[in-house]
Amino acid sequence: MKITDLKCTVIGRNPVIRILTDEGIYGLGQAEAAKTYLKPHVMFYKSYLMGEDPTDVERVMLKIRRMGSFKPWGAAVSSIEMALWDIAGKAAGVPVYKLLGGKVRDTVRVYNGAVRFKMRGAEPEHYAENMARMKASPENFGLIKQGIAFHGTHMIDAVPDFSYANKQGGAPHPNRGPLTERGLKHIIACVEAMKDVLGDEVGLALDCGPGFMVPDAIRLAKALEPLNIAWLEDMITGDYTPYVMADLYREVTRSTSTPIHTGEQIYLRQNFRELFEKKAINIVGPDPADVGGIAELKWVAEYADLHGILMAPHGTGDGLIGLAALVQVGATLPYNYIGFEYPTGDPAWWYDIINGLPDPIVKDSHIEVWNTPGLGVDFNEKARQYLPEGDEDFFD
């Protein structure tokens, strides 16, 4: 079998790729929503793929893997890797999880991820109200993650003198600086309000940054110890940060019993080495659409498990093909697996153009692993109407 073409388009907000072969089998991959600029980056790799056997996934990846980088620039390589596994599974007549070593579990746990309700404000009562809505969602999530502090701008805008730093705009999560006492107390009050709603029935994880200074990260983590928070995510570095800063994370992690989490922006296993070998974090959260693909995520999970580090993969913007990839790899991960961040179809018409997903997808915070060959999902004819101008031949 040989690769004969690589195509990329943007459907809704998600870049989608399609790899074609001389045997009529094709594979699908998807990148995180809002990366509409990714198409030329995907197409850069076309010449390296042409003529290769797509079922030799690692051999193909060795040609392109080193030419990616931290989020968002590893997404093109990652989506290609997804599509290669899709082809390999279809060619073998088995789901991708069989090619990754087989199932460890029949259902995979997820947390809320892209299931969100708009906040009415940034006061403790608003966070409590939001958690009540989340707790009542039909997916019956056993773990809910909420953004606080520097993750988003609600608190920075709403709380006077939240930080000693000047407020920044522009790129995602641009703010960074020391917290004032008022800012720190406000965060703690909001977390306490959320836990009052969730109790011990539903776990609470917090997406915190990036943007914290080490002393504030330690103070917050220690203050929240009595609340048994599932984790504090991306406090120092994280989303759209092209470096790791393992030594700073280690200083925070060693100072508290509250679990510390990071990793969604990191590309390739090599860039997790310091975090793991220095025991700098408790939980890691690579995204299969950014880390280099689904097999790369599994490698990182096994590597983490050797160091006593837990695994909670990122994936909120990965779309429905990305969801399928997360389900397949999630089924194979070791016992350090907590759950992955649940991506949804956005816009909602995505559910009308994809076949192969269960209905409902999530039951009691779990997704049953399906047994369809490859990733197990595919587009139907309705998808053609959503192709952008110039990409009308994407499905041909």
- Cα→Cα distances 345→81, 115, 184, 316, Å: 21, 10, 35, 10
Question: Which domains are assigned to the chain?
Answer: 3-94+380-386 (3.30.390.10), 98-374 (3.20.20.120)
Q: Which residues, 6+ apart, have CB-to-CB distance to 201 below 8 Å?
A: 135
- Cα→Cα distances 308→146, 267, 270, Å: 25, 21, 18
Ramachandran category for residue 51: left, alpha or beta (phi over 0 → left; psi -120 to 50 → alpha): left
Tokens of residue 66, six digits:
């080193």
3-class DSSP assignment, residue 9? strand
- pTM comes to 0.97
Model pLDDT for residues 167-219, shown as the tens digit of each residue = 888 888 899 999 999 999 999 999 999 999 999 999 999 999 999 999 999 99
Q: For all residues of the chain together, what is the average pLDDT? A: 97
pLDDT of residue 153: 73
Helix intervals (H) in the chain: 39-43, 46-49, 57-64, 75-92, 96-99, 124-135, 154-158, 181-198, 214-223, 246-253, 273-277, 294-306, 319-330, 350-353
b/e per residue 233-248 (b: at least 16 CB within 10 A)? bbbbbbbbbeebbbeb
| DSSP-assigned states of every residue in 260-329 | EEE-TT--SGGGGHHHHHTT--SEE---TTTTT-HHHHHHHHHHHHHTT-EE----TTSHHHHHHHHHHH
CB atoms within 10 A of CB 126: 16
The alpha carbon dihedral of 223, 314, 77, 43 has a sign of negative
Run of H or E residues at 3: strand 3-11
3-class DSSP assignment, residue 366? strand
Alpha carbon distance, N-terminus to C-terminus of the chain: 19
Compute the distance between CA of residue 20 and CA of residue 50 in angstroms, rounded to an integer.
10
Task: With both helix axes pointing from N to C terminus, report the angle between 319-330 and 294-306 in degrees, rounded to the nearest 10.
Answer: 40
Tokens of residue 222, six digits:
């220690």
pLDDT of residue 127: 97
Q: Is the pLDDT of residue 81 over 90?
A: yes
Average pLDDT in the 365-373 region?
Answer: 98
pLDDT of residue 366: 98
Please, which residues bridge with residue 374 across strands?
Answer: 95
pLDDT of residue 378: 98
CA nearest to 314, candidates 231, 377, 378, 215: 231
Model pLDDT for residues 38-54, shown as the tens digit of each residue = 999 999 999 999 999 99
Peptide bond into 210 cis (omega under 30): yes
Compute the distance between CA of residue 293 and CA of residue 299 in angstroms, rounded to an integer.
10
CA nearest to 72, candidates 115, 28, 113, 41: 41
The residue ranges of DSSP E strands in 81-164, in sequence order, are 107-111, 143-147
pLDDT of residue 154: 83
